[in-house]
Amino acid sequence: MTVSATSFRVITKEEGDIIDITDMVAKAVADTGIEDGLACVMTKHSTAAIILMEDEPGLRADLREMLGRLAPKGAGYEHDRPGGDGNGHSHLRATLLGMSVTVPVAGGRPALGRWQQVLLMELDHQGRERQVTVQVLG
């Protein structure tokens, strides 16, 4: 079995930003030379998420709206009490969505469904530089 990992940076502009990283993930997988196996795609941040979803404007809006209902801003989170940084909702939203996905690799490419893209979602109250790691086993 071979294991190979690489990382890349993603710059987000604002809270709620959704960036399609499918091509970057595909390149990272191809660069390993591994033909068949599994790829774990992970962000190393607790206020961002990695998701598999159809990258469609209506779904982007629906996702943001759903997260606003499930973990609203300013809901009195302990993390936001004096001394906190006001982003309790960001951490909780990341926990709901997850910070990693595992994708099968076939023929040296991520084996995604027709309507699936790998997306990074910014959940913090401002844009940031995010690091994504892709580790492939095969």
Distances (CA, A) of 61 to 20, 58, 68, 90, 107: 15, 5, 11, 17, 34
Whole-structure pTM value? 0.95
All domains in the chain, ordered by first residue: 3-72+86-137 (2.60.120.460)
Strand runs labelled E in 16-99: 18-20, 37-43, 48-53
User: Using CA atoms, how far apart are residues 55 and 27, in angstroms rounded to an integer?
Assistant: 19
pLDDT in tens, 31-84: 999 999 999 999 999 999 999 999 999 999 999 999 999 999 999 999 998 877
Q: Is 23 helix (H, G, I), strand (E, B) or coil?
A: helix
